[in-house]
Amino acid sequence: MWTWAEWIADTVLRATGLDPAAGAGAALHFFVYDLLKITVLVAGVAFLMALIRGALPLEKIRRALDRPGGRFFGYPAAALFGALTPFCSCSSVPVFLGFVQARFPIGVAFAFLITSPLVNEIAVALLAALFGWKFALAYAAAGIGLGISGGLALTLLHAERWLVPGAVLAAGEEAEAPLHGWTARLRDAAETSGHILKQIAPWLVGSLLLGAAMHGFVPEGFFQNLFAGRGSWTVPLASLAGLPLYVSANATVPLLEAFVAKGVPLGTALAFLLSAVGVSLPELVMLRGVMTVRLLVMFSLVVLVGTTLIGWLFNALQ
């Protein structure tokens, strides 16, 4: 799917004459490839969600979730929906924004946001091929469980009070009139997509520059060697180290295999990679448009604590 982005990144490297295997060449390849991929993903998902938003009875869904017992089904439904969507952490953001703008319960929206990048059918199938179906299903259950429990935790913290003012319609406030006709809907979707990209562009470039520097100049095997110990402290350290990185769930499978082959305990490796998949610096940059810094910190802490507990559990079972 991303062959064209790989070709452009390779072409840029050939033009510079840099070595793609390490240093500045590896950093440049990472930056060009991920910038192209994230831009297309965010623009495409934002465009699609703007179209869907105009077609779905979001107000009726929101009212159903606000009824007694509605949220009881809302959390697992949102987490399962997240597990079925093949999104990375960045491309999950436009969907989350749609939930927030439609005044969905904040915990339900977070259940989707946490689960969506962690679990998808491709990653589960790859894990099953390498580690067996029991491990793959346990991984999926852990990701969905983290989404549900994280959503519940942020509900109990009343996380909606830490949204940026104006990010969500106030109770009783009227939403925009529904658009009629495909021409109007397509124009609105294009404007929404462009607005989101324009808003995040400088921060996205900055965060990718940081990620590229880490990718190109952090020594090979650094993380494997750092987490190879079996002390319980290595699990939260691994979760913390993975937090700012940008990795897709599918890319974690060979990384997980490499970590385990280097002697890293399975739970510790899983904590690092779940953290890297569940939260990323580009994602936090995009969420800053609707979340205060306090909410970004709380969201990151929920993922950090959840991935640490999962890591400890898998190490104990191992």
List, for residues 96-145, the tens digit of each pLDDT value. 887 887 778 889 999 999 998 888 776 788 788 778 888 889 989 999 99
Backbone angles phi, psi at 99, to 5 degrees: -65, -45
**Residues comprising the chain, all counted:** 318
In a domain, 9, yes or no: no
In a domain, 6, yes or no: no
In a domain, 1, yes or no: no
Domain of 313, in residue numbers: 16-317
Check: CB of residue 274 under 8 Å from CB of residue 307.
yes
Residue 170's pLDDT band (boundaries 50, 70, 90)? Answer: very low
Amino acid at 16: T
The whole-number pLDDT of residue 174 equals 43
User: Which range is least confidently modeled, 128-142, 185-199, 216-230, 235-249?
Assistant: 216-230
pLDDT (average), residues 5-27: 86
CA 175 vs CA 66, 102, 170, 190: distances in Å: 18, 8, 10, 19
Give the rounded percent of residues in the chain with a pLDDT score beyond 90: 16
Q: Into how many domains does the chain fold? A: 1
The whole-number pLDDT of residue 110 equals 93
User: Which pTM does this prediction carry?
Assistant: 0.73
Q: What is the separation, in whole angstroms, between the first and last Cα of the chain?
A: 36
Residue 61's pLDDT band (boundaries 50, 70, 90)? Answer: low
In a domain, 248, yes or no: yes
Neighbours of 189 (CB within 10 A): 20
In a domain, 7, yes or no: no
Per-residue pLDDT at 169 exceeds 50: no
Per-residue pLDDT at 146 exceeds 90: yes
What Rg value do the Cα atoms of the chain yield, rounded?
Answer: 20
Backbone angles phi, psi at 279, to 5 degrees: -135, 145
In a domain, 128, yes or no: yes
Number of H helices, E strands in the chain: 15, 0
Per-residue pLDDT at 190 exceeds 90: no
Which long-range contacts link 119-124 to residues 24+ away (Cβ below 8 Å)?
Answer: 119/82, 119/83, 119/143, 119/144, 119/249, 120/83, 120/84, 120/85, 120/86, 120/87, 120/249, 120/250, 121/84, 121/86, 122/86, 122/249, 122/250, 123/249, 123/250, 123/252, 123/253
Q: Which of 63-72, 91-100, 223-232 has the highest mean pLDDT?
A: 91-100
Residue 204's contacts (CB-CB under 8 Å, 6 or more residues apart) are 35, 38, 39, 282, 285, 286
In a domain, 8, yes or no: no
